[in-house]
Amino acid sequence: INDMKKYFSSSEHSYYAQSLFFVSIVIHKVKAFDLDTAILIDSDLKFESDINDLNKQFENFAENNVIGLARENQPVYRHLFSSYRSHNPGTRVGSPPPNGLSGFNSGVVLLNIKRMGSSSQYNELINPEVLQRMTKTYDFKGHLGDQDFFTLLSLEHEDLFYVLPCTWNRQLCVWWRDKGYEDVFDLYFKCNGKINIYHGNCNTPFPSS
């Protein structure tokens, strides 16, 4: 976790520098958790559906999927990978859904702990040398904890991740809309279908029922 903090928090005293925001990455190494699967959720969520239906999403995991997350609903990673994008025109990195690698949001995380423990591929990627190489390759400095790690990993190892439908983590924050991304914002923000979970990130109020 201390190695992760160097790459995925803005400073040692920042909010996302707390170890809590990195536990999901190595939860399979915590012997106290004798579980095959787990769901980690933020405290700023409003459920509109039975949480058991969220649990059923594990049934949709492909054979190699170990973690399930919804896409980030803002152009956060378009911004954070701007240097890489400028040197690699046409890249999928930071581009919007459905074909872009737009990054993940860790407000709702589905963890197949059993697979995390048995996946040699996943465990080989949790080491300082890999992190150093990948952050250098993509000219990336994160500040959002585990979701930065999962996002970075997904650029080269998409098969490790199940893309949770946006309706199970409908993020409401629009902070990036007026930060120079007005023309592309809706490509990231749109989410069609019945909303199962609202995520009031950025202290955004929930819609009235």
What confidence tens digit (pLDDT) does each residue in 14-68 have?
877 788 889 999 999 987 778 999 999 999 999 999 999 999 999 999 999 999 9
- Write out pLDDT tens, residues 170-199: 999 999 999 999 999 999 999 999 999 999
Which pLDDT value is given to residue 9?
Answer: 87
DSSP states of the chain as a string? Answer: -HHHHHHHSSSTTSGGGSGGGGGGGGGGG-TT---S-EEEE-SSEEESS-HHHHHGGGGG--TT--EEEEEPSSTHHHHHTHHHHHHSTT-SBTPPTTTSB--EEEEEEEE-HHHHHH-HHHHHHSSHHHHHHHHHHTT----STHHHHHHHHHTT-GGGEEEE-GGGSEE---GGGGTT-TTTHHHHH---S--SEEE-GGGPPPPP-
**Domain residue limits, the chain:** 1-199
Residue 208: what pLDDT? 86
pLDDT tens string 133-176: 999 999 999 999 999 999 999 999 999 999 999 999 999 999 99
Out of 3.40.50, 1.25.40, 3.10.110, 3.90.550, which CATH number does the structure's domain 1-199 have?
3.90.550
* pLDDT of the residue at 209: 66
pLDDT range class, residue 101, cuts 50, 70, 90? very high
Q: Given this model, what pLDDT does residue 200 score?
A: 98
SS3 annotation, 18-67: CHHHHHHHHHHHCCCCCCCCEEEECCCEEECCCHHHHHHHHHHCCCCCCE
Q: Give me the pLDDT at residue 54, please.
A: 98
pLDDT reading at 79 higher than 80: yes
Model confidence pTM above 0.85: yes
